[in-house]
Amino acid sequence: MKGKVSMKYSMRTGVALLLTAALIGCSSTNGGGSSTASPSASSSAKPSEPVQTATPPVEKLDKLSYWVYLNSQAAASIKNLGEHEAYKKKEELTGVKVEFIHPQADESFRLMMASNDLPDVIETGWIALTGGPDKVIEDGKIIRLNEYIEDYAPNLSKLLADNPEMRKNISTDDGTIYAFPFYRGDPYLLTFMGITLRQDWLNNLKLEMPETLDEWHTVLTAFKNDDPNQNGKPDEIPLFYKWSQLGFQSAYGITNGFIQEDGVVKHSWYTPQFKDYITLLNKWYSEGLIDQDYLTTDNKLRDAKLTGDQLGTFVQYTVGKYNALMKDSHPTFEIKAAPYPVVTKGTRPIIGHQDPYYTGNGAAITTSAKNVPAIVQWLDFNYGPEGSTLFNFGIEGMTYEMVNGVPTFNEAVLTDAQLMGRATLSGAYGPFVQDKRIMEQKSASNINGLHSLETWMKPENKKHMPRLTLTPDESSEYASIMNDINTFVNEKVDKFIMGIEPLDKFDAFVATMKDMGIERAIAIQQAAYDRYLKR
């Protein structure tokens, strides 16, 4: 465990400067007097002052093995993270050579975990696993990190000390920290998708941006009937939309999953509002306002309809990609973000897209690792000032320049997605805290990019659930129930929308979910949520 020589990183960094992280923040008290946390009520932590740190010496670490899925942004131009510019620079700075192992299929993870031949580090989504991280620790596959972080990870330790909500989010119910997390460092980073529509079509028809469901019906009807693309043909598709996307159900205060209202957990499918939502989509589909082929249309075909000047509205990520793509061939083409819809004009949207600060993804150290303190130091590098800049912004001179003391993406990387993918992890994930400034800079470089984020961030978002940790027994029971219900619902709902199944059978559909155990699944989530609030 101890030795005379520590890694270069430990020798060089006596001072740990910590980047900004977010507090999920305020809790509210319901009428019954119990405290309930609101995932959307949050504030950013201020940067910590430089502090002098001292960690015990560790044995020198020369190499380690690291299992992780190769993210799609990087995979577009490299075959292994060993070729990634940020990791190459980290090797230069720390002196540690990493053997990256990238699985080709999900089955490889199960086979690896069933064996005794584990790499030193595994990065994956631990909360999503059956049994969760507690089960993986109980099975002797990965280790509890709390004490190691306290002794050998000054950057992450200070970050957690300054931000109790971050510690709460990345821990299990008993306080165990099991991975170095990918963590979003500001509320600004939680929202990045929503409803968009053709602003140029609105202009052609002299229509205003819709806010209410009634206004949306008016606009979509005009898109269908009034030739907004001005080609003299009835070829417009007003809306491409799949019911499971978070869009129009937000007017009813539901999502596509679990929500909480004053501390009471509900499943959106098991509420009266879900019937109202599906009834709306059935009406719009019957009127030809929703793409009649939505069920068999993939993203590639959807994009072809959009760039072919046929599609008016759909749910997507930030809007800049298509505006830039069409800039030369269709100068008036303009996609703009639409606010999440409401029932009553002038009211604030109830709920919209908002990811959690912590998704459950992180880098865990396995029981096969031989030099845990040094690996902890190596991972902790990412949470200090040098590592944070490296993984968020890449390489100075290649992807960013320092402007008034701020790392600022250069034009080369903002216009080259492959360079962004092979030099930074800013658009992907990894064991580091994501910096707000990357989203600000990327969005500002896109036509209507900043407008889209500001528009989609307006909902109250009080009903969102944090990522919860189920016990191993709960996890198995919950998975068994919800796997069957998910299959059943996905088979039925599209039939209701398309009129194949009459809506007068919807109550029987709800009754079937009850028989399949959805109330038990809700109770499991309620218990996990209650434990989360007590962490």
* Residue range 130-174, pLDDT digits in tens: 889 999 999 999 999 999 999 999 999 999 999 999 999 999 999
257 pLDDT higher than 60: yes
Q: What tens digit of pLDDT does each residue of 54-90 get?
A: 677 889 999 999 999 999 999 999 999 999 999 999 9
d(CA 318, CA 324): 12
d(CA 372, CA 148): 8
Does the pLDDT of residue 277 top 80, yes or no?
A: yes
Between the alpha carbon of residue 273 and those of residues 41, 50, 143, 494, the distances in Å are 24, 51, 44, 17
Report how far residue 483's alpha carbon sits from residue 475's, in angstroms, rounded to the nearest whole number: 12
> Whole-model pTM?
0.85
**CA-to-CA dists, residue 207 to 11, 202, 210, 211, angstroms:** 64, 5, 8, 12
What is the crossing angle of helices 472-498 and 272-286, to 10°?
Answer: 30
As a whole number, mean pLDDT of residues 509-526 equals 98
- Closest to 361 measured CA to CA, from 184, 181, 189: 181
Contact present, 437 and 407 (Cβ < 8 Å): yes
Let me know: does 100 contact 68? Beta carbons within 8 Å. yes
Mean pLDDT, range 326-351, rounded to an integer: 95
Alpha-carbon span 152 to 380, nearest angstrom: 8
Please tell me which residue, 327 or 9, carries the higher pLDDT value: 327
What are residue 479's phi and psi, to 5 degrees?
-60, -40
Q: Compute φ and ψ for 362, nearest 5 degrees.
A: -170, 175
CB atoms within 10 A of CB 212: 16
